[in-house]
Structures are given as structure tokens and as C-alpha cells.
């Protein structure tokens, strides 16, 4: 049932936020641009967990097999996240070790780890990943094995020196068995690294564009600790990512095994609908020509922001730096929009650009400035009072 907490199993969780959203962030076939779903966020009265559990299992499976792959580094800041991760884990935990990566994205982290000398097993259901991992560089010190399925308790019957799971846990409907399976996959003395968005950030910033169909869980510190304790894991280190938008958690197996956690938090998300309403009102007031307006970045944030535009005012240009997205389509109620790479010719035809990937705002402004863009740039960063003009 939609009101049963997937962490503590308490019933009667009330609704705290609802909206319609795109089922996919990016699609290859424009005929799929009519796929929408309702988001129905509930918050557990007992443990405080915020979740969305109305998405059918078959729909979830379709999303992760067909969704364009994400997390390809397209800026120096994104590449530095890998360096920070390696520093946090320590090379001694990686070099010559057997590492399991659950949710491989574009395979970029697996390739980096193999280059360091790790033997990496990647479990990832997306149908596009086998081609991206087809050729590991000949100078790589380690190997990559791909298992092209969904990860779960019965996926593997082996253990690893380390388990890495980045930006995946929040997508999983049966979250407790999934996290337990992560814990069961690590050897004694090994590590589990989990990276997730934080509910605290969304609540503080009113970040409505970080709430979308594909995220079924919004985890604060209490929920994270409860899940890891339930899996027999003890947190030994954490690090904040993108000003606290995400958090990386390094945990190790607890010799005592799984243990209950009574921690509870009731992080409120009242600012989320308020900020969404503020942005919608601002868009209604701005005088722009949709034919000469673009959204920069076909990310989850950019596409969720795009859903605010009414059909008749939806911008007709989408710009992205991820080569996996070029030629595909973002969409809203105004229909599909083909995603294009940044170019001087494209920019010359645009008077207004809204920066959807607000975490990379500074880098995007620099790129556009270097390319000679002289139109209006708009920040949709929810930490600002409203949509603000940058230039």
C-alpha cells in the first residue's frame, strides 16, 4: 500500500507533496514523450522517512533498462568527485582488490578503478552499458566484468573486498532488502560505500527539481543510519558533496551483525511546494519567446524544471554537454525537444537560457561566455529567492 513505510513498516503515512512529472528524463524515441506519472510523497509518522511507493514494478524495470545513462563527467568539477572518492576510500582499499559496483552509470568509475588495478564487477540493468564497457584500455591494471541485470539479494553468491553503490539506493522500491544485499556482498574487513542525495538539502533549499518519479526515497541522516544498521554496517566516514546535496557514506561490516536503530527524524519539506509555486509564478511573468529560449542541461533537475512551463510557453531548445544525450529528446507537456550540443550557431538564435543543472551554474556560465553568448541567462537555483537573471 502507498501509505506503508518501506523502512519501519508503519502504516498511515500522510501525503506531504504531490505533482505530475515526466517518467523519463531523456528518451530516444519522441513517441515516448507522452509518458508521465504522478508523484505522491508520503512521510512516515513513526520514523519520519519520506517516500513514494506508487510506481509499478514493471514501470521501474522499464525506466532503468531504457533510460539514457547518467553520471558521465562533463566538467572538471564532476571529474574531481572521482578523485575525492578515491582519496576517501584510500588506494590500499582499491589496488589489487575485487570491487563490486552496483549501478554502473556510464561505466566511467569502473574504468577508473580498473585503471588503478581493481578487478571490478559491475551490476547494471541498463541495456546501453555493455557497449560502453566493451573495450577496457589495454594498459588497465584490472579487469571489468559486467552483469547486465538488476541487483538484489539473489544476484551474486560471492563476496568482495569493497562494494560501491552511488546514486542508486534512492531508486529502489524494496530498499531494506537491497541495502542488506549490499552488506552481504562485502567480506569481513572490507567496505561498503553508498552515495545518495540528502533530504536535508531538499528541505532546506526547497529543491522541487530534485523530486522526480525515479527517486522513490528521500533519505535524511536518521533513515541512512537505520538502513545501514539493519544491514549490519557501521559508518566510519562521510563526506558532503555539492554543498550537501549528496552525501557519501563509508561503512564497514559490524562483527555483531544487523542491529535495530531507533533513530527518527521528521525533516519537513514545506519549502518544496512553496519554491515550486514561486518559480512557476516567475515564469508566467517573464516575457520570453519560446522559439528563442533554451534550457541548459537535460539532467533530472533541468527536465523537472522544464515541466513547470505550460505547453504554449515551453522553450524549444535543449542544450547538453553529455554526448549520450545528444540527438535524444527531453519533453514536457509541450511535447518533445531534441537535445543539441552547445554551439555558436545555436546560441546565436537564443535570447534567453535557463540553467537547469544549477549545481554546475558557474561552469555553464563560463562555457557560454567563452562561446560569445550575449543573451539573458537565468538561474533556477532553488537556494535563491526566485528565478534570477545572471546576465
Residue with cell 560501491: 164
**pTM for the full predicted model:** 0.90
Mean pLDDT of 242-257: 92
Report pLDDT for 59: 80
Rounded Cα–Cα distance for residues 194 and 249 (Å) = 5
**134-184, pLDDT tens digit by residue?**
655 556 578 899 998 889 999 999 999 999 999 999 999 999 999 999 999
| Strand boundaries in the chain, DSSP class E | 15-22, 36-43, 50-51, 98-102, 119-123, 144-147, 160-166, 186-197, 217-218, 233-241, 246-253, 293-296, 317-319, 329-332, 335-340, 352-355, 376-379, 388-389
Report pLDDT for 54: 75
- Residues sharing a CB contact under 8 Å with residue 159, sequence separation 6 or more, in sequence order: 184, 185, 186, 187, 190
| 181 backbone dihedrals φ, ψ, rounded to 5° | -65, -35
Give the 3-state secondary structure percentages of the chain, helix then strand then coil, rounded to 5.
30, 25, 45
**278-321, pLDDT tens digit by residue?**
999 999 999 999 999 999 999 999 999 999 999 999 999 999 99
- Contact predicate 362/334, CB 8 Å: no
Q: State whether the Cα torsion 79-84-89-91 is positive or negative.
A: positive
Which of these ranges, 31-35, 220-224, 260-264, 329-333, has the smallest mean pLDDT? Answer: 260-264
Rounded Cα–Cα distance for residues 90 and 162 (Å) = 12
Rounded Cα–Cα distance for residues 1 and 42 (Å) = 11
Rounded Cα–Cα distance for residues 163 and 123 (Å) = 11
Nearest partner of 357 among 339, 375, 334, judged by Cα: 339
When computed from its CA atoms, the radius of gyration of the chain, rounded to whole angstroms, is 21
| 275: pLDDT strictly greater than 90 | yes
CA distances from 195 to 81, 84, 174, 240 (A): 12, 13, 17, 10
- Residues sharing a CB contact under 8 Å with residue 183, sequence separation 6 or more, in sequence order: 192, 228, 231, 232, 233, 253, 258
Mean pLDDT, rounded, of the chain: 91
CA distances from 378 to 78, 115, 279 (A): 22, 39, 12
**71-121, pLDDT tens digit by residue?**
555 555 667 788 899 999 999 999 999 999 999 887 889 989 999 999 999
Report pLDDT for 132: 61
Residue 219 grid cell: 533519505
First to last CA, the chain: 48
Rounded Cα–Cα distance for residues 217 and 206 (Å) = 16
Residue with cell 555483531: 256
Amino acid at each position: 500500500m502507498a501509505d506503508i513505510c518501506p523502512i519501519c513498516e508503519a502504516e498511515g503515512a500522510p501525503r506531504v507533496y504531490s505533482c505530475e512529472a515526466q517518467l523519463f528524463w531523456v528518451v530516444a524515441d519522441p513517441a515516448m514523450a507522452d509518458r508521465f506519472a504522478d508523484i505522491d510523497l508520503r512521510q512516515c509518522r513513526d520514523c519520519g522517512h519520506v517516500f513514494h511507493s506508487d510506481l509499478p514494478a514493471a514501470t521501474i524495470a522499464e525506466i532503468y533498462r531504457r533510460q539514457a545513462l547518467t553520471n558521465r563527467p562533463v566538467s572538471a568539477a564532476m571529474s574531481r568527485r572521482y578523485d575525492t572518492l578515491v582519496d576517501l576510500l584510500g588506494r590500499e582499499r582499491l589496488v589489487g582488490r575485487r570491487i563490486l559496483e552496483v549501478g554502473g552509470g556510464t561505466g566511467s568509475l569502473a574504468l577508473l578503478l580498473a585503471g588503478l588495478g581493481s578487478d571490478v564487477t559491475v551490476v547494471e540493468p541498463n541495456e546501453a552499458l555493455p557497449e560502453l564497457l566493451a573495450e577496457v584500455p589495454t594498459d588497465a591494471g584490472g579487469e571489468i566484468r559486467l552483469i547486465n541485470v538488476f541487483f538484489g539479494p539473489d544476484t551474486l553468491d560471492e563476496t568482495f573486498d569493497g562494494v560501491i553503490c552511488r546514486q542508486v539506493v534512492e531508486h529502489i522500491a524494496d530498499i531494506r532488502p537491497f541495502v542488506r544485499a549490499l552488506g552481504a556482498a562485502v567480506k569481513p574487513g572490507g567496505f561498503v560505500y553508498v552515495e545518495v542525495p540528502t533530504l536535508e538539502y531538499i528541505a532546506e533549499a526547497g529543491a522541487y527539481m530534485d523530486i522526480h518519479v525515479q527517486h522513490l526515497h528521500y533519505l535524511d541522516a536518521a533513515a541512512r543510519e537505520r538502513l545501514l544498521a539493519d544491514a549490519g554496517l557501521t559508518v566510519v566516514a562521510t563526506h558532503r558533496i555539492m554543498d550537501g546535496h549528496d552525501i557519501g557514506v563509508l561503512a564497514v561490516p559490524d562483527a555483531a551483525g544487523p542491529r535495530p536503530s531507533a533513530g527518527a527524524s521528521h525533516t519537513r519539506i514545506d519549502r518544496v511546494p512553496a519554491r515550486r509555486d514561486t518559480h512557476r509564478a516567475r515564469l508566467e511573468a517573464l516575457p520570453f519567446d519560446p522559439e528563442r529560449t533554451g534550457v541548459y542541461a537535460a539532467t533530472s533537475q533541468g527536465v523537472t524544471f522544464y515541466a513547470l512551463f505550460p505547453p504554449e510557453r515551453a522553450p524549444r531548445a535543449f542544450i547538453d554537454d553529455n554526448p549520450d544525450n545528444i540527438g535524444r529528446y527531453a519533453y514536457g507537456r509541450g511535447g518533445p525537444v531534441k537535445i543539441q550540443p552547445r554551439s555558436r550557431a545555436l546560441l546565436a538564435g537564443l535570447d534567453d537560457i535557463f540553467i537547469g543543472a544549477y549545481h554546475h551554474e558557474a561552469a555553464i556560465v563560463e562555457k557560454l561566455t567563452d562561446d560569445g553568448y550575449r543573451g539573458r541567462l537565468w538561474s533556477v537555483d532553488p537556494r535563491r529567492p526566485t528565478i534570477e537573471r545572471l546576465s
